[in-house]
Amino acid sequence: MKKMIIIVFILFLVFFVYIFASAQGEVTRLDKEKSIEKKLDDFILHMKVERGDNGIKIHHSLQYVGDESIRIEHQTPLVSISLQTKNHDFTGSMVPKYLQKGSIYYQEPVTLSTEGKGEKNLYVKAKFLADGEPVNIEHVETLRFN
């Protein structure tokens, strides 16, 4: 009788460990990596969305393709990125940057955590002044997670 109780207890224990391990193993992953370009006047916003360790990683940069040198000024961040909720927050003092034709202004990659499967919108907004004139580049990209 004791052996039977011990065997049943071990089976239940193995079953619960298996269920717990299975639940922990479900990771939401980006279905397909994407490269995106959004052009506005003399500027191109480049983005690459890829799978990260704990969600998605977005590499982004601003390229200037105009003929004359230009001064841009922006708050932090230059490019605001959010997932599911359109939430852009630009703060701090203005940061100046001089760009020549073909210059690419690289930004630190952004990592966003993801939960749940299905489609989610990635909201992107670059906001800056180009020679004193406001420039806003906005883009919405639908991403699929499985």
Per-residue pLDDT tens digits for 39-91: 999 999 999 999 987 789 999 999 999 999 999 999 999 999 999 989 899 99
* 96 found inside a domain: yes
Residue 11 pLDDT class (50, 70, 90 cuts): low
The CATH number of whichever domain residue 50 belongs to comes to: 2.60.40.2360
What is the total count of domains within the chain? 1
Mean local confidence (pLDDT), 17-41: 75
pLDDT at 52: 84
Strands 70-76 and 133-145: unpaired
Structure token pair of residue 137: 């580049």
* 127 found inside a domain: yes
pLDDT at 116: 85
> Global pTM?
0.78
Question: Can you say whether the dihedral through the CA atoms of 141, 121, 87, 113 is positive or negative?
Answer: negative
Structural domain of residue 81, as residue ranges? Answer: 34-145
* 110 found inside a domain: yes
* 94 found inside a domain: yes
pLDDT at 78: 96
* 105 found inside a domain: yes
* 49 found inside a domain: yes
* Average pLDDT along the chain: 87
